[in-house]
């Protein structure tokens, strides 16, 4: 555990020795974890604030979570009450959905890789075995823990990716509700036989609704297995579902700047607001001012439990909202590049007469047509694809690899 000297916030520091990494042949695993954690900004995924490199070690400065592993919690307390199990499962599925929307399969989801914070909120960690998905591409690597692995994984068959995470989520949900694993045996070949058979015990105390959900998620045939859309539409899952987990417009947290947080960074670092803004606009997650800003934002969220601040969001996406319908929380302002255009007749669009250009406008002329392949944009690829994905969802299209 470390502490940011200027902001005073606690962080977790993961120290990786270069020589040991090479000797254990886990360079690729570490690179994947850093790559994915740098990309993600979600309330139920562990955040990576900074990577400090020295000649001998790497220091991964990450979000501090004090509650320990979900696995240890279940071992100590046994099965979780149904309402609490649903709340944790909703958070986990929201994080998994976020990963899949950004073409990342975790591939090692299990209670040991789900951490709990001081408020008993779930945080997914350890993306070392994760893999980037490509359209039309299938994976074959048999990775992850046997008890949580899908039948197609332990059998060495090709799999697209998202469906293996759904299976693992089903095992986690079963562990939450029952305090045991659906498939377990000390003899690995026997364990594999049980997993391939897909037959598991359903206790009498489980209500029929959640039992049907478990059976749909732990379906041996990956083509018949529940998708995230199926789970989200299930009556048991929808009960008391917080709106921030699956926001309709996932654009707020990355497209607004918090003035109070900016001023706090200025005070701590004795710098100007423009310097902080430049650091945030640069897109460099390793910039010390950007790191301090995100630390302040994250800790404020934890302290205030600001669950309605649209925390689960994609990386910055363009806003197509009308100015009249855009409600910005107090103390924050839109990112300049994401602000909706002002209506000419609106009071906000008015300017002093001396600021107007009084030169006579040139007559309109028909410009020579140009052909362009694809789209032209200065936005990042992830921003563009996130917007495409949202548009497809509004048209009720479904993305599936």
Query: Do 59 and 134 share a domain, yes or no?
Result: no
Query: Do 7 and 128 sit in the same domain of this protein?
Result: no
Q: State the Cα–Cα distance between residues 157 and 149, nearest whole angstrom.
A: 12
Please check the confidence at residue 73 and state whether its pLDDT lies above 80. yes
pLDDT at 254 over 70: no
Q: What pLDDT score was predicted for residue 44?
A: 92
Averaged pLDDT for residues 198-227 = 94
What does the pLDDT look like over 106-133, one tens digit per residue? 878 899 989 999 889 999 987 654 444 4
Among 16, 43, 63, the domain-final residue is 63
- Residue 19: its pLDDT value, please? 82
Residues 131 and 222 in one domain: yes
- Does residue 85 sit in the same domain as residue 131? yes
Kindly state whether residue 85 falls inside one of the protein's structural domains: yes
Q: Tell me which of 8 and 235 has the higher pLDDT.
A: 235
What is the rounded distance in angstroms from the CA atom of residue 209 to the CA atom of residue 224?
Answer: 18
Residue 281, helix vs strand vs coil: helix
Most confident of the following: 66-70, 280-284, 358-362: 66-70
Domain assignment present for residue 198? The answer is: yes
Q: What pLDDT, on a 0 to 100 scale, did the predictor assign at position 296?
A: 75
Residue 400 in this model has a pLDDT that exceeds 70? no
Domain count, the chain: 2
Judge whether residue 83 has pLDDT over 60: yes
pLDDT on residue 4: 55
Check which CATH number belongs to the domain holding 153 and give it.
1.10.510.10
Q: Do 56 and 257 meet the contact criterion of CB atoms below 8 Å apart? A: no
Q: What is the pLDDT of residue 376?
A: 57
Say whether both 46 and 85 belong to one domain: no
Same domain for 146 and 238? yes
226 and 105 belong to one structural domain: yes
With respect to residue 309, please indicate whether it lies within any of the assigned structural domains.
Answer: no
Tell which wins on pLDDT, 395 or 286.
395
User: Does the residue 358 lie in any domain?
Assistant: no
**Average pLDDT rounded to a whole number, residues 172-178:** 95
Catalytic annotation, residues:
108
Number of H-type helices and E-type strands within the chain:
15, 10
* pLDDT average, residue stretch 152-160: 70
Query: What's the pLDDT score for residue 344?
Result: 34
Two structure tokens written together for 216? 């749909």
Helix (H) or strand (E) segment spanning residue 255: helix 252-255
Q: What integer pLDDT is reported at residue 57 of this predicted model?
A: 83
Tell me which of 167 and 397 has the higher pLDDT. Answer: 167
C-alpha separations of 163 from 82, 123, 175, 205 in Å: 24, 20, 19, 28
Last-in-domain residue among 38, 63, 88: 63
Q: Range of 95's domain?
A: 70-242
Asked if residue 148 and residue 58 are part of one domain, the reply reads no
Q: Is residue 377 over pLDDT 70?
A: no
Whether 104 shows a pLDDT value over 70: the answer reads yes
Q: In angstroms, rounded to a whole number, what is the distance separating the alpha carbons of residues 401 and 390?
A: 17
The answer to whether residues 34 and 146 belong to one domain is no
Total Cβ atoms within 10 A of residue 23: 9
Q: Could you tell me if 204 and 167 lie in one domain?
A: yes
Q: Which residue has the higher pLDDT, 148 or 5?
A: 148
Q: Do 55 and 128 have their domain in common?
A: no
**pLDDT at position 86, please?**
97
What pLDDT is attached to residue 7? 59
Domain presence at residue 348: no
The pTM for the full model equals 0.60
Which of 190-194, 270-274, 305-309, 318-322 is the most confident on average? 190-194
Most confident listed range (77-81, 138-142, 335-339): 77-81
Q: Cα dihedral sign for 119, 122, 123, 125?
A: positive
**Per-residue model confidence as pLDDT tens digits over 281-340:** 776 656 778 777 876 776 665 455 434 433 444 443 333 333 333 344 444 444 333 333
Whether 298 is covered by a domain: the verdict is: no
Q: Counting beta carbons within 10 angstroms of the beta carbon of residue 185, is it exposed (0 to 12), middle (13 to 18) or buried (19 or more)?
A: middle
Q: In CATH, what number is assigned to the domain containing residue 28?
A: 3.30.200.20
Residue 269 contacts residue 279 (beta carbons within 8 Å): no
Domain assignment present for 320 = no
Mean pLDDT along residues 249-254: 44
Is residue 138 predicted with pLDDT exceeding 60?
no
The answer to whether position 43 is within a domain reads: yes
Q: Is the same domain home to 107 and 237? A: yes
Between 54 and 323, residue with greater pLDDT: 54
């Amino acid at each position: 555990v470390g502490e940011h000297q200027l902001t005073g916030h606690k962080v977790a520091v993961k120290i990786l020795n270069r020589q040991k990494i090479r000797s254990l042949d886990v360079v690729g695993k570490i690179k994947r974890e850093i790559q994915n954690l740098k990309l993600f900004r979600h309330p139920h995924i562990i955040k990576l604030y900074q990577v400090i490199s020295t000649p001998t070690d790497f220091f991964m400065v990450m979000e501090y979570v004090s509650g320990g592993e979900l696995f240890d919690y279940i071992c100590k307390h046994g099965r979780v009450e149904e309402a609490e199990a649903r709340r944790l499962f909703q958070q986990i599925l929201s994080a998994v959905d976020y990963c899949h929307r950004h073409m990342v399969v975790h591939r090692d989801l299990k209670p040991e890789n789900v951490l709990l914070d001081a408020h008993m909120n779930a945080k997914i960690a350890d993306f070392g075995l994760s893999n980037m998905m490509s359209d039309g591409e299938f994976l074959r690597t048999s990775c992850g823990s046997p008890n949580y692995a899908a039948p197609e994984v332990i059998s060495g068959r090709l799999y697209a990716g998202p469906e293996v995470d759904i299976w693992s989520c089903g095992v986690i949900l079963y562990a939450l509700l029952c305090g045991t694993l659906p498939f377990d045996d000390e003899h690995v070949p026997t364990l594999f036989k049980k997993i391939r058979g897909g037959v598991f015990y359903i206790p009498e105390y489980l209500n029929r609704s959640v039992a049907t959900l478990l059976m749909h998620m732990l379906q041996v045939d990956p083509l018949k297995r529940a998708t995230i859309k199926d789970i989200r539409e299930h009556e048991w899952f929808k009960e008391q579902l917080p709106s921030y987990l699956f926001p309709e417009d996932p654009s707020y947290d990355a497209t607004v700047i918090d003035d109070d947080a900016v001023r706090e960074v200025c005070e701590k670092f004795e710098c100007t607001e423009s310097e902080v803004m430049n650091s945030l606009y640069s897109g460099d997650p390793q910039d010390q001012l950007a790191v301090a800003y995100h630390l302040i934002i994250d800790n404020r969220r934890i302290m205030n439990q600001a669950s309605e601040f649209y925390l689960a969001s994609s990386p910055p996406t363009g806003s197509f909202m009308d100015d009249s319908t855009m409600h910005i929380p107090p103390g924050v302002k839109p990112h300049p590049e994401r602000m909706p255009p002002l209506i000419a007749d609106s009071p906000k669009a008015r300017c002093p007469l001396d600021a107007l250009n009084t030169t006579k406008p040139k007559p309109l002329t028909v410009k020579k047509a140009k052909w362009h392949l694809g789209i032209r944009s200065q936005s990042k690829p992830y921003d563009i694809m996130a917007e495409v994905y949202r548009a497809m969802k509004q048209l009720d299209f479904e993305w599936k690899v």
